[in-house]
A and B are shown apart, each in its own frame.
Chain A
């Protein structure tokens, strides 16, 4: 910016300013918001071209695309916020195909009256998450809705990536005899969120596990290109995601409860709230299903990565026309681990 006249003579009042309808009107106020907040913190050459789209070259091969809407409440929670989550969530959805995520887009729906300081905090966090992951936000959109018609801020991100040749990972490829692995402890994100909900404040040291898993996936795919399924057990937790995979592949699953890593503080919080940690959400975890003979190799690769230190083999795929997920309990019995019905509601007694 070599022009002598500043484009916006008054700087955006981030400290005590608020989003108003003009920030979504397409006029100068919106241009200033984009310039001083989004461009500043999400900075990269493609975004700076300031077009309504980003144009880029891609390597030859198959492209992968995924989109994810983020409406989390509260916006800020132990271990993350909606900004970092919106980057991690979509990177992970792309990475679960085995692809290398390349670029993100971000659509913001802002509620009139939302503090600019909060928005800046979210965008800074988003920029940091994108930078750390090496997956820039290259295009975006901002809309403002009237007060009462949103919940502060909603962020939708879309990601594109490119798949290495020869890799075919899909939810319908689990076969009887396959091993089931996870990269770490279950339920951290959900418990961190619950601990900071307004009506439910309790003290816990648990932080959200929100993280971008693409480098872990890259290591896994490099070691064993023939991985059968990868999926991140987000909403509905491990139990629901395994049921999805069992259904999709037309197989059953047998889990070993004692092998499933769960942080003691998560167990404790779930005991207190009457919840089952197997149904609690994760944002930095993946489920991997692979041939039994590859399981040990993948486990070693996972455990060598910072995001897979607690990785474990938790069960195996079996033949079952009903596609039931069953579990040998640590107690010595067995149970069905069913789909989550409705929302997980706390028991009374």
Chain B
């Protein structure tokens, strides 16, 4: 397929692989974090790791849009969906993400909630137009890439006077999250995780441009290379990062020049700025509360804000015990370090968010890279029944 196959060419991959092997210093380690799930997906789907030297490691970051959404917000969405008059629309990936009590949108749909998968916000608008007697809520998630379409939908709804359409806004911002990772104690003070450089987001950067990364490349002295999502993009960007590290540079470079400019898409930025504003802080799964990292709908569009139209309480919900998703999202742990990985937590039965989306680090490890692991663990190491028995015994002794 034109404009895609060119970026998956075997011969170019071999050439790049040779160049990377020639560039690396064999006496040091290179830990390169890909922020985006799209990169994680490409690395596993095309087997990019096989073409890299042993001392270059990909550290999977938190850039999977469904993985970073805290359980409380999914509980909110489920609550909205259970309202008989509501049609809840969202993107496909979101449906299987486990929330509290191991519920998910897919499960409440089976119980009768009207949950619909859409490919675009315009589909949600159409559903609102076709069902004037129902409340249509678009469960909006994702980074800067998916934000402009949400803004368009809200403006469109206003123009058309669609008063049964609203948005449950959960959009988050990439630079805030990268900064949070770099400031986390494990990375900065304790130095237990060394991240040497970053693959910058590709689609996100097409909107926000490469400029926003300049601050922390300088502040934290880590090179950033904006990288496309095709496997050759990833390899070329790895070479650029390794070169910067070898030369002691820490700049923002742009490999994805065919799409990303320094300024980004000004029109899209203006659109988002018109409809949305920064939240003081927003909770991320894995990162906790991150200041100024999320967006909310402005008061001038309040009628389209599901949080104002419905009662959406702040829900505190914790991850499944033993789930390492929070640390995996920060690159502090690998999926295989998690006791639940591949035992009780599999793509068929995800316990944590990283196992849900194919962009999630755990799902990618499991689906594409299992054979790299030394051994498939035979038995669950955490036995919930035994744990339950222990709790029961404790209760009995109290009585």
Contact = CB atoms under 8 A, between A and B. Distances in A.
Interface of A: 199-200, 258, 264, 267-268, 271, 273, 276, 322, 324, 326, 328-336, 338, 341-342, 345-349
Given A336-B367, A347-B358, 7 more contacts: A268-B1, A331-B51, A334-B50, A341-B346, A347-B38, A347-B93, A348-B92
Nearest to A267: B1
A347 B41 contact: yes
Interface residues of B, number: 55
Nearest 7 CB-CB pairs, A to B?
Answer: A333-B47, A341-B347, A345-B92, A333-B50, A331-B46, A346-B92, A335-B368
Contacts of B203: 349
Contacts of B4: 267, 271
B348 A342 contact: yes
Given A264-B1, A331-B48, A331-B231, A342 B96 contact: yes
Interface centre among B9, B41, B119 (most CB of A within 10 A): B119
Contacts of A199: 116-119, 123
Interface centre among B1, B8, B37, B51 (most CB of A within 10 A): B1
A271 B117 CA distance: 18
Nearest to A345: B92
B340 interface: no
Contacts of B96: 342, 345
Contacts of A200: 119
Contacts, number: 115
Main secondary structure of the interface of A (DSSP, over half): loop
Contacts of B123: 199
Contact of A341 (B10, B13, B48, B367): B367
B65 A334 contact: no
Interface of B: 1, 4, 8-10, 13-14, 17, 36-38, 41, 44-51, 65-66, 91-96, 106, 116-119, 123, 141-143, 145-146, 203, 231, 346-348, 357-359, 363, 366-371, 376
Contacts of B36: 349
A267 B363 CA distance: 22
28 contacts: A199-B119, A267-B4, A328-B47, A330-B10, A331-B8, A331-B10, A331-B231, A332-B13, A333-B46, A333-B231, A334-B47, A335-B44, A335-B46, A336-B368, A341-B363, A345-B95, A345-B117, A346-B91, A346-B93, A347-B37, A347-B41, A347-B92, A347-B358, A348-B91, A348-B141, A349-B38, A349-B145, A349-B203
A349 B203 CA distance: 8
Contacts of B119: 199-200, 273, 346
A336 B46 contact: no
